[in-house]
Amino acid sequence: MLSEDELSGIFTTKIESNERFYFSKLTTSELRVPVNGNKFFNKHFAIVGSTGSGKSHTVAKVIQEAVNQKNSDYSGLNNSHIVIFDIHGEYEQAFPDANNLNASNLLLPYWMLNGDELEQLFLDTGDRNNYNQSSVLRKIITENKKKHNPSIDKIHFDSPLKFDIEEVYNCLFNFQNETYNFKSPDRYMIRGHEGAYTGANSISESDGLLLNPESRIETYFSQAHEFIPSRNSNVNKGLYADGTLDKFIERLDNKIKNSRLDFLFGVRSRDASFEETIKQFIGFQTEGQANVTIINLGRIPFEVLSISVSLISRILFDFGYFFNKILSTGQKTDTPILLLYEEAHIYVPKSDLLKFKSSKIAIERIAKEGRKYGVTLGIVSQRPSEISETIFSQCNNFIAMRLTNPEDQNYVKRLLPDTLGNLTETLPTLQSGEALLIGESIVLPSLVKIDRCDPEPKSSDIEYFEIWKEQWKNVNFESIMDAWKH
C-alpha cells in the first residue's frame, strides 16, 4: 500500500546520508535498503545460511562495497582494514588486489605463540606423562628466552620473545639421554668429557663434565650430545632419562622438521620481526598496501589450524589494544579492523576439546572486548548451532539466509526478537541470495535480495548437467598428483 517514496522514507529516516551503506534491496520491490554503516561494522555481525544459499557472494558483496566507499574524491585506497580467514580458497578471485597469504608465504613465528598454544602444539593430551612434559617444556623455553633476551629483566613462559626451537630440542634430547657420575652427581657423562673413565666397574669422583644448573642448561642448548650409557652402579640415568619424554621429543622433532609447517618453524618465520608479522595482516606490507588481507587456511595442516587462527587473532587484538593505549584521552583509533571468519564452526565450535581451546579463547575475547579497541568480528557459518554461544550471542547484526537444518533455524530464532513473528518462518524457504536482514544497523527487519558481487568468489555452482552432456574430457592426473603431494 506504500509508495516507493514512503517506503524509502521509512528505511532512511533514522540513518544520516553519510552513514548509509547499501548491499541489498527488498525482495518485494526494487527499493535499495540501507543499513547504518557505522552500526553494522562497529558491532559484530553474522552471516549464516546452508550451503548454496549465497553466503560467499554476500560476504564478497559486503566487503567489496566497504572497500569502495569514499567520503570525497581522493584517489587510492580508503582506510578500511579487513582480514578474511578463508578456509576454502574462495575469495582471492573476488578481491584481485588483496594481500593473499597462504602456507607458502605466511609469516607466523613460533616464538609468538603463548603458553597455551605452545602446549597445545607440542603436548599430547592423552599421554599420562603430560604433566611432566609440560613442566619441562615451560622451564626450557623460559630459560632459552632468557638466553636470547639478556637485556630484559622479567621473562616468563608467555613472554612474546624470540627463542630458538632447535636449541630447545637439543636440551630436551639431552635430558632424555643424560647420565651422571654416581659418586659425583654434578658430573655428567658426556662423550668426550668422560675423563679417565673406561667403562669398567671403577669410577672416580672426577670423571664426567662438572656442570652447575646454569652451565648444564647452556651446554645442553649448544648441541645434542652423546652420553656414556648407564652401567652397573657407576653411571646412572638422569632424572628425565626414564622414557617419560620419548614420545614428546619425537612429536617435537616431527613438527619442526615438517616442511608443511615452514610458515611456523622455517627460517623466514623464525627471523621475522614483530612489526613485519603484524604488517602483513593489516595491509601495510612493503610490497604494496591493501584493504583486504586473505589468509587461505586450505593448505595449513588441520592439527595446527586452530593454533594458527588463534595466534593471528590474538596478534590483531593486541595490536588494537596497544594502539588504543597510546592514544590521547578521548581520541579514537583511526585504524579499525574487521576480522571475518569463514566457516567459523570449524575452528570455534561449541566444544570443550583442547584442540579448539586456543582459538576459542582468542576469538571469544575479541567478541567480548574487541569493539572497545577497534577490532570487530564477522562470523560466517552454515551451522550456527555449532558455533560457540559466547561468540554468536555477541553479534548485533544478522544476515540470515536459507537454513534447512531445524537446529540451526531454532538457534537463530532464539537469538532474534519475538516481535519478528512469522518472519523467521521463511528461513527454510528463502531462495539463493535472499536473506533476513536484522539488527541494530537497520530500521526494520527486512527480507532482502543481496546485490550481485563483481567479481564473484570462486564458489559459484557448477553446472553439472550441462557439463555432463559435453564430450568426455581427459584429466591430467600427473599435475593433480604433483599439486597433491606438494
The per-residue DSSP string of 147-178 comes to: HH-TT-S---TT------HHHHHHHHHHHHH-
Per-residue pLDDT 10s for the chain (486 aa) are 777 888 888 888 888 999 999 999 999 888 999 999 999 999 999 999 998 899 999 999 999 999 999 988 888 899 999 999 999 889 999 999 999 999 889 999 999 999 889 988 888 766 566 778 888 999 999 999 999 999 998 999 988 899 999 999 999 999 999 999 988 999 999 998 888 777 766 788 888 899 998 999 999 999 999 999 887 778 889 888 888 888 889 989 999 999 889 999 999 888 888 899 999 999 887 778 999 999 999 888 888 999 999 999 999 999 999 999 998 888 888 899 999 999 998 888 888 887 888 899 999 999 999 999 999 999 999 998 888 888 888 999 999 999 988 888 888 787 666 666 677 778 888 999 999 999 899 998 889 999 999 998 987 677 888 889 999 989 899 988 887 776
Predicted local confidence at residue 67, as pLDDT? 95
4-106+273-480 under CATH 3.40.50.300, yes or no? yes
Predicted local confidence at residue 163, as pLDDT? 95
- Residue corresponding to grid cell 560476504: 59
Predicted local confidence at residue 412, as pLDDT? 79
* C-alpha cell recorded at residue 82: 579487513
Q: Which residues pair with 222 in a beta bridge?
A: none
* C-alpha cell recorded at residue 164: 630458538
- 363 φ/ψ angles, rounded to the nearest 5 degrees: -75, -35
What is the β-pairing status of strands 446-450 and 434-439?
Answer: antiparallel
179-181 β-sheet, strand order:
209-210, 184-188, 179-181, 235-237
Residue ranges of the chain that CATH labels 3.40.50.300: 4-106+273-480
Predicted local confidence at residue 409, as pLDDT? 86
* C-alpha cell recorded at residue 225: 650430545
Judged on CB neighbours under 10 Å (0-12, 13-18, 19+), 18 is: exposed
Count the helices and strands in the chain (H runs, E runs). 17, 15
C-beta of residue 44 within 8 angstroms of C-beta of residue 396:
yes
CA distances for 408 relative to 49, 93, 223, 423, angstroms: 9, 29, 55, 16
Predicted local confidence at residue 336, as pLDDT? 94
Which amino acid is it at 105? Answer: N
User: Residues near 45 by Cβ (< 8 Å), separated by ≥ 6?
Assistant: 376, 377, 378, 379, 395, 396, 397, 398, 399, 439, 441
Predicted local confidence at residue 128, as pLDDT? 60
